[in-house]
Amino acid sequence: MSYLLRIDASVSGRASFSRQVADTFTDAWAGAVVHRDLALTPVPHLDAAGVCARAVPADRHTPEQRAAAVLQDELVEEFLGAGAYLFAVPLYNYSIPSVFKAWLDHIMIVGRTIAVGQATPTTGRPAVIVSARGGGYGPGAPQHGKDFLLPALETILGDTHLFGLDVRSITAELTYAPTIEPMRHLIPLHEASLANAHDLARRHAADMSPLSEPARR
């Protein structure tokens, strides 16, 4: 049975805005959910053993390569088994949290998840990226042009030569407004951005859900 694969990357627990919006999506989802929390159970960064394990025959693997292959097989099969995806990935220091980048490095394998010269196994499957950030990064904002997370993820996940997912993005901005004094005048804009993010999460979940499958958390 196909399922929604939810990946969380925020270290902030319940205080995380990306998690809160992802929870709204999951609550509105009408099918099965498989949840991987990279903050609670991070995967190791890709190392030489992980790279070599892809090229060396299994019967010649070193113990380190064998362990790396087992982990990659688990992550790849979990990824390929999903029919839809929810990625809750906050903006950290203008870019992708290292735990999420590590997960990507393990599953981006030519010939398995990435096909050269043909459609990838996940082409056309729906995906939602939920991102939160402390400031504002839209046109006219002081940080405009410094978001190196969404453009990268939309390319990696959505490019037809890579995963080829049908990607939609949800962004909650100005999350520092309630806690940083110089930003308090932006609280109404933060609240509006967050409310819009929750609304989009509900709408995308309703649009993407396989209604014939029983919901579970």
Confidence at residue 212, expressed as pLDDT on a 0 to 100 scale: 41
- 67 CB contacts (<8 Å, ≥6 apart)? 49
- Domain span including residue 75: 4-208
Q: Is residue 31 part of a domain?
A: yes
The pLDDT assigned to 116 comes to 78
- pLDDT at position 119 is 81
Instruction: Report how many domains make up the chain.
Output: 1
**Assigned domain for 213 exists:** no
What is the block-wise mean pLDDT of the chain (217 residues), using blocks of 10 residues?
92 96 97 97 97 95 97 98 98 97 97 86 97 94 94 96 96 96 96 98 94 43
With respect to residue 33, please indicate whether it lies within any of the assigned structural domains: yes
**Parallel, antiparallel, or unpaired: how do β-strands 33-37 and 4-8 relate?**
parallel
Residues constituting the chain: 217
| Pair 150, 109: CB distance under 8 Å | no
pLDDT score at 210? 83
Specify if 217 maps to a domain.
no
7: buried, middle or exposed (CB in 10 Å: 19+, 13-18, 0-12)?
Answer: buried
pLDDT at 214: 40
Determine, yes or no, domain membership for 214. Answer: no
User: What are the angstrom distances between the C-alpha of 168 and each of 19, 112, 131, 154, 179?
Assistant: 16, 24, 11, 8, 29
Q: Is residue 132 part of a domain?
A: yes
The predicted structure's pLDDT at residue 2: 86
Q: What is the CATH number of the domain that holds 46?
A: 3.40.50.360
